Structure 1
Amino acid sequence: MLSTNRRNLLKSGAAVGAALLLSQGSWRNAEAQEDGVLRMAWSGSAQILDPAAQNLLDEFQFTRLVYETLTEMGPDFIPKPLLATEWSASEDGLTWTFKLTPDAKFHSGKPLTSADVVYTYSRLTDPKTALVGTSFFDAIAKVTASDPHSVVFTLKYPYADLLTALAGNYGSIIPDGSTKESLSTKPDGTGPFVMAEFVPGARIVYKANRNYRTPGAIGLSEIRQETIAQGNAQVSSLTAGEVDLINQVSPQLVPSLEGQTDVTLLKTPGAGFHSIYINTSDERFAKSQVREAMRLVMDRPALAQIAYSGLGEPSADNVILSSSPYFDAAVVPPEVNIEKAKTLLAEAGYPSGFEANIYTTAERYGLQQMAVAFAAMVGQIGINLKIVTWTNGDLGTQAYRQKELVTFYWTLQSGADASIAPFYESNGSYNGGKSTAPFFSDPEIDKLILAGKAELDENKRKQIYSSLQKIIADRGYILVPYEIPLVVAVSDRLKNFHAFPRGFHDFKYVTLS
């Protein structure tokens, strides 16, 4: 048997982690103070509260605070115990047994049992369920309870990223019997904070979970996730002491904060990317020549400069970011070639081009700028794009996977499989294969993705994902002109805070001075 328990897994990192946190004070004795209200500024707003149905970063932050998963990912992207205290796997990698903590309770007071885990994953793996998170768990055949605090995962094939997948927000454990209505109106998790108020488009207010199982873990009495759409207003609020954190600083405003006293900028390179999602159910964009022509007119360094003030790094439409160990630097963007692009468009049957809409938002800095610049570039070959600007929430719920061209912001995914499969597997969650939305399908890509999931040898896995990156650069359906860093601005009042590269954060042990 292959086994991992809390003591062995955490031993190597315990000394470093304790040193980092203890240097800020005695965090083990941190008590939530009545005035310990953390206010953070977000440019967008959550729309969906069901953890398995979310698309937006703002929603992922909600889930990170209210719910918990079996395992969790730290900033080092190594899976660690959370609701599962230990686990073991059979030699063939097809059967995994997880022991649950006996101390966890939902906010309603109900103790966590194996029935909750079985219900959560039965819902996620039900082929009739059209949830965004379902394809992340395609490797799971079934989940059963062996006793009230033990669950057994039976897999269809060995899955190298299982522990990583279980740590993702989509695997958040919900109470047995939860309904769509209860998840949308009365979220009931085991997390360190309880949702107290939700005003769509304005704020989410969280109160400390006074019954949280880990003594001293909660040093804040309240967290307020405020929607402040404009970057200048966010900066003004931070410097005036009205908020303590800006989750994502607009790139053009970074210089204005670099000289500020009492403000720290936390920068993580390769933390996300801007993209143009091409709807291949549209007969124009189903033609590979059209997608290739669009790729060939993109001046990627110029787009990075225009849209992200030069902080972005040009990309070859790669959904695996440079911060990933699976990133292949040998896969580079094509050179701009206007004449070849015109020829390809003519071959596709559009010698004079065509008109289309591109949907974007001003609430995620750079997306609208990218859309405008991209429209000018494809205009050179006769593709005339009309810019349609919506709120970020509407972009995620009414445009993404539905309209012909949609700009979108994505954050770093945990693990190689989660970086590619949701976008490019035929039944991928972000591809639309498990919903009524259109999807892209490529048999060779599907075959390689499945091979990558099951391959346990790291060197062989890297070769598989390198091949995938090359294919996607040639014939993918998502244009990724550049990747971007995550820049979080925090007041120096904030102690023990560590920015999570994916852009939503853990606030356990965080205090305000």
Structure 2
Amino acid sequence: MFQKFLPLVAASMLALGAGAAWAQRTTITVGGQLEPPHLDPTGGAAAAIDNVVYSNIYEGLTRFAADGSVIPGLAERWDISEDGLGYTFYLRQGVKFHDGSDMNAADVVFSLDRARAEDSTNAQKGLFAAIASVEALDELTVQVTLSQPTGAFLFNMAWGDAVILPEEATEDQLKTAPNGTGAFVFGNWVQGDQITLNRNPNYWGTPAMLESATIKYISDPSAAYAALMAGDIDAFPVFPAPENLAQFAADPRFSVIVGSTEGETILAMNNAQPPLDNVLVREAIAHAIDRQAIIDGAMFGYGTPIGTHFAPHNPDYVDLTGMSNYDPERARALLAEAGLPDGFTTTLKLPPPSYARRGGEIIASQLREVGIQTEITNLEWAQWLEEVFNGKDFGLTIVSHTEPMDIGIYANPDYYFQYDNPDFQALMETLNATTDPAKRSAILQQAQEIIAADYVNGYLFQLAKTGVADARIRGLWENAPTQAIDLTGVYWEE
């Protein structure tokens, strides 16, 4: 990308004349709706953490590219044993953490052992469940031994939850002063306002083209629109007001970047709380929901209906929307069969994103039509994490799961929606031990069918990536294969 950029420099200098100064913008202000609770991607579930730190500050042994493929990260290559149990990672030479210390095999051992420890707070601890041991063979070689073959192991190591941390890092430092190996160094955090990143002058790879980047948090969609129009924000990779996209598209000052995400947006149900512990009740809720009305009303048409927890752009996706088609009469009959002919009342706790707040009002109205009353509570993100995700104190909630290929969360009975199906758990164990692509595909399709038939959650739509940016900005991701606002390849084209 830098080589393509050089002719632009030369051309601009010629146009301005000898001795003229050429001013290329090297800073950017990016908008975000949700501020992270802290900055440790290995110790929290909030997507807003990875938005800031993934690739920009922290890197893993492998990483996701813009197209979703898994490519080398801090490990420049690896060997896999014939039995699929041994992974030997060869680390890049000369990589330093932002504090100047060397990144080596001891840091990898520390990071993976910490993530899989019994007292680990890693939100995706299951990614590391198959690891039996991690050993430093020398300063730049790490041997990871698995307890069973794991077909998705390199994929798992690309998640933000698997980034490599410095061995001497403390919990407080990880949360407030991240010290990674990425192309940007953490600058400062004005809580409630913005986070600043600065270019890492000692980066081991291709340096960032931006000198600095500021992520400014604007939770209100109207304020986000005003900030873009005024030029206070240069880009909003996930713009929270889809009703304004047509206006931006018609304005030559802006480019509208619409792509796909890994975000399965669901009406999550507490499977351990009566009467939601009854599959008939969950099925009734699923049939009471008009997905297209939610997509049109809350997202202004942006979104793809889903009938299970899987991304429609994935080649293994099965369209199961027909199993939970909009059928209010069927919903009422199911409630009656469950012994609730007059319906019931439950809570609907909504996090800040507009898809949740707007979608929640629509869903509450749809459920009311079949006799289900909802007590709506709007929560800030930290409250939602405390009450819903960690405390499991809810009946219904709406959230978009933006982690890649995360159907495995349904194998964890302690996960916030508390689905406990031993058959599904056994199927995920089989998947983890399967390396043959065709067999993995068949298992994934079966997994989708199981959770759809159990009506674990109300499956709504795949979240679209609706971005708006100054038309001169290049390098922003069109799609979101992971929860990242990757700024490492972003630049201005004047």
**TM-score of the alignment, normalized to the shorter chain, above 0.5:** yes
SS where residue 51 of structure 1 aligns? coil
Shift of residue 462 of structure 1? 1.3
Return the alpha-carbon distance in structure 1 between the equivalents of residues 382 and 317 of structure 2. 30
Percent identical residues? 24
Preserved CA contact (<8 Å) 1:364 1:409: no
SS where residue 273 of structure 2 aligns? coil
- Provide the alpha-carbon RMSD of the alignment: 2.3
1:16-50 Cα offsets, whole Å, 9 max, x none, are xx6xx654546999xxx996221001111111221
Preserved CA contact (<8 Å) 1:244 1:493: no
1:351-403 Cα offsets, whole Å, 9 max, x none, are 32222210113x41221121111111221232210111122343234333522
Shift of residue 264 of structure 1? 1.3
Shift of residue 78 of structure 1? 1.8
Shift of residue 491 of structure 1? 1.1
* Unpaired stretches in structure 1, ≥5 consecutive residues: 1-17
Return the alpha-carbon distance in structure 2 between the equivalents of residues 438 and 364 of structure 1. 19
Q: Among 386, 394, 398, which residue is 2:383 paired with?
A: 394
Q: Where do 1:210-221 residues align within 5 Å?
A: 210-214=201-205, 217-221=207-211
- Residue identity opposite 2:173 in structure 1: S
SS where residue 42 of structure 2 aligns? helix
SS where residue 332 of structure 1 aligns? helix
1:206-247 Cα offsets, whole Å, 9 max, x none, are 111122123x52211111110111223223322332211112
SS where residue 167 of structure 1 aligns? coil
Preserved CA contact (<8 Å) 1:40 1:246: yes
- Residue identity opposite 1:494 in structure 2: I
Shift of residue 76 of structure 1? 2.2
Preserved CA contact (<8 Å) 1:272 1:486: no
Return the alpha-carbon distance in structure 2 between the equivalents of residues 162 and 138 of structure 1. 10
Return the alpha-carbon distance in structure 1 between the equivalents of residues 106 and 226 of structure 2. 48
Aligned residue in 2 for 1:420: 407
Q: Where do 1:342-357 residues align within 5 Å?
A: 342-357=332-347
Preserved CA contact (<8 Å) 1:297 1:337: yes
Return the alpha-carbon distance in structure 2 between the equivalents of residues 505 and 381 of structure 1. 41
Shift of residue 204 of structure 1? 1.0
Aligned residue in 1 for 2:488: 508
Preserved CA contact (<8 Å) 2:269 2:456: yes
Aligned residue in 1 for 2:330: 340
* Superposition misfits of 4+ residues, deviation over 6 angstroms: 26-29
Aligned residue in 2 for 1:440: 419
Shift of residue 467 of structure 1? 1.1
Alignment of 1:85 with 2:71, yes or no, is no
Alignment of 1:382 with 2:368, yes or no, is no
Alignment of 1:52 with 2:42, yes or no, is yes
Shift of residue 51 of structure 1? 1.3
Q: Among 162, 165, 176, which residue is 2:153 paired with?
A: 162
Preserved CA contact (<8 Å) 1:39 1:223: yes
- Residue identity opposite 1:421 in structure 2: G
Aligned residue in 2 for 1:234: 224
Return the alpha-carbon distance in structure 2 between the equivalents of residues 476 and 100 of structure 1. 44
Shift of residue 271 of structure 1? 4.3
SS where residue 108 of structure 1 aligns? coil
Return the alpha-carbon distance in structure 1 between the equivalents of residues 75 and 261 of structure 2. 30
CA change 1:179–1:332 in 2 (3 A) is farther
Q: Where do 1:165-184 residues align within 5 Å?
A: 165-184=156-175
Preserved CA contact (<8 Å) 1:46 1:200: no
SS where residue 358 of structure 1 aligns? strand
Q: Among 358, 378, 393, which residue is 1:369 paired with?
A: 358
Shift of residue 307 of structure 1? 1.5
Q: Among 429, 450, 473, which residue is 1:471 paired with?
A: 450
1:154-195 Cα offsets, whole Å, 9 max, x none, are 112111111111111001111113222221222111111122
Q: Among 85, 94, 113, which residue is 1:122 paired with?
A: 113
Q: Which stretch of the first structure deviates more once superposed, 88-97 or 442-451?
A: 442-451
* Unpaired stretches in structure 2, ≥5 consecutive residues: 11-22
Aligned residue pairs: how many?
476
